[in-house]
Amino acid sequence: MTEREMVRAILEHTEYLRRNRLPYEGFEIMQTKWCARILLELCQRTPQRFGELKRAMPEISNVVLSSALKTLVERGMVVRTQFNEIPPHVEYDLTEKGRGMLTVIYEIIRWEERYASPPQP
């Protein structure tokens, strides 16, 4: 697809969303720092427990992680499975919709590798 064709498709899609007053769901998920990061972590290894996700993202608080996971579950990106065992535990896994974001995450990583500035010392 050429750049011109991509721009035309973007314009058509944007107009469709505006005309029908629909949310920009993909952008909303990706602009939410922690939701995007959780998807990144889950695409590397899934399913994961809450504690595993927390260890992968030590800078996030338990409350924020819990809230972001709830958002992803509500949006159908992640499924939460509760195991009623002793001790009880919960696992989070990508849904088909969530796995659909893998190409987006991959392209963001490719963009970072090409254009992002190296970290400053």
Q: Is residue 12 part of a domain?
A: no
Q: Is residue 87 part of a domain?
A: yes
Q: How many whole angstroms separate alpha carbon 66 and alpha carbon 102?
A: 22
Q: Is residue 24 part of a domain?
A: no
Question: Structural domain tally of the chain?
Answer: 1
Interhelix angle 33-44/102-115, nearest 10 degrees = 100
Q: Is residue 1 part of a domain?
A: no
How high is the pLDDT of residue 78?
97
Query: Does position 114 have pLDDT exceeding 80, yes or no?
Result: yes
pTM of the model: 0.81
Query: Does position 118 have pLDDT exceeding 80, yes or no?
Result: no
CA distances, 45 to each of 52, 108, 116 (Å) = 10, 18, 25
How high is the pLDDT of residue 54?
96
Q: Is residue 18 part of a domain?
A: no
Q: Is residue 9 part of a domain?
A: no
Q: Is residue 84 part of a domain?
A: yes
In b/e form, how buried is each residue of 7-20, taking b as 16+ CB within 10 angstroms? eeeeeeeeeeeeee
Q: Sorting pLDDT into bands at 50, 70 and 90, what band is 99?
A: very high
List the CATH number of the domain containing 94.
1.10.10.10
How high is the pLDDT of residue 109?
87
Residue 38 near residue 79 (C-beta atoms within 8 A): no
Q: Sorting pLDDT into bands at 50, 70 and 90, what band is 33?
A: confident
Q: Compare 29 and 47 and report the one with higher pLDDT.
A: 47
Mean pLDDT of the chain: 90
Query: Does position 119 have pLDDT exceeding 70, yes or no?
Result: no
Q: Is residue 121 part of a domain?
A: no
How high is the pLDDT of residue 121?
65
Average pLDDT over residues 49-72: 95
> 69 lies in which domain range?
32-115
